[in-house]
Every structure is written in structure tokens, then in C-alpha cells.
Amino acid sequence: MRVIAGTAKGRTLKAVPGKNTRPTTDKVKEAIFSMIGPFFDGGFVLDLFAGTGGLGIESLSRGMDRAVFVDLDGGSIEVIKQNVQAAGVAEQAEIYRTEAVRAVKALAKRGLKFELVFLDPPYRMKEMDSLMNELAERDLLGTDATIVVEHDADHVYPETMEVFRQIRHSKYGDTAVTIYRYEKATEPTVHMEA
């Protein structure tokens, strides 16, 4: 695994030992960033279920300002710490060992807004649509934020949800990538008579 493009291009990233994490392959990572980037002009990225941190690190390498990495697995957290150092982006990274919904609640209290969110959970977890709604309800998404869901190719997420519109869906073997754009409902304008 390596960083594909940007300031950290070519840097090697460590994998998490064991079989519990399934790092995004370079081929899938390349495809994701060609769909959502390929480069960024600043902003915040949230890498929930971060695993090795590869997606968040790639985003920083390609121009995002800061990344928040969240994973529940202690082994993953250690690997993320090593990988952000190896990629030279440790100064731009916050790393938390906690459960995803708990992380969302804590981040909301800080008033953070993310332009890019990666949801790459273990494939047995199939409720990323409800987690996306939680992100929206807690006002954690910037205008036109992009959400990337990596999931089992057999599972299908809805094309539209209340404030999300699917913009891409691609399959790579047993992996699928579904990309959404956050479309915040604008408040209706009230005209008052003078």
C-alpha cells in the first residue's frame, strides 16, 4: 500500500496485522480519487472506520487541510499513527480510538464541518445510510460535502435519501463504492410585508 498522488506520493503505508481490516486496494483508491478529486483545495476530511488511515492520508496528500481518523481497533490506531508519520502529515491529523457514532457526537460538540467523509466499515455493517443521516442531523457536513461509502458489492444503498444524492456507484469485484453529495435543504425565505 502506498500514497498514490500529491505531496506524499510514493510513501509506503503499513497494513494492520491480522485479518480484521481490509485495506482499500490501490486500484480502488485510485478510482475513488479520480471520481471525487483528484485534488482538493483545502477542507476537512473525516475517515471513520479508518483502518490503516489510507483514505484520509491520501486526501491530505492531495490537498485537504486536516483529517480526523476514527477507529475502534487499538491495532488500527497504532498503524494510523505510524502511517501519518511516514506520510509526513502527522501535524494535520487527529486520531481517536472510539466507536463511530460516539465520535460523531463528540465532533459535533466541537462545531467541525467536513467537506469529505469516508465510511469504510467492516462489510457486515450495512447501516451507513443512518450514519450519514446522523452526520447531517448533527450539522457536521460542509456545503456540498462528499460522502464515500465502501461496502460489500451485494449490498445496495438507496440512490437518494433526504439530504443526499448518489452521484456515483461502481463495483470492483466484491467491493462497491457509492458516492453521495450532501444537499442541505435551504430554509424557505419568508417575505414580510412592510
- The string of pLDDT tens digits covering residues 129-144 is 999 999 999 999 999 9
Rounded CA separation 183/174 (Å): 29
Q: Where are the alpha helices (DSSP H) in the chain?
A: 26-36, 54-61, 74-86, 100-109, 128-137
Rounded CA separation 97/78 (Å): 10
1, 15 Cβ separation under 8 angstroms: yes
Rounded CA separation 108/131 (Å): 13
Q: Which residues, 6 or more positions from 68, have their beta carbon under 8 angstroms from its beta carbon?
A: 44, 45, 46, 47, 56, 93, 94, 95, 96, 103, 107, 112, 114
* pLDDT in the model for residue 25: 83
* pLDDT in the model for residue 191: 54
The neighbouring-strand residues paired with 134 are none
pLDDT digits (tens, 9 = 90+) for 168-194: 999 999 999 999 999 976 655 555 555
Query: Domains in the chain, start-ordered, CATH in brackets?
Result: 26-182 (3.40.50.150)
* pLDDT in the model for residue 123: 83
The residue with cell 485537504 is 64
* pLDDT in the model for residue 42: 95
Rounded CA separation 116/44 (Å): 7
Q: Which residues of the chain have pLDDT under 50?
A: none
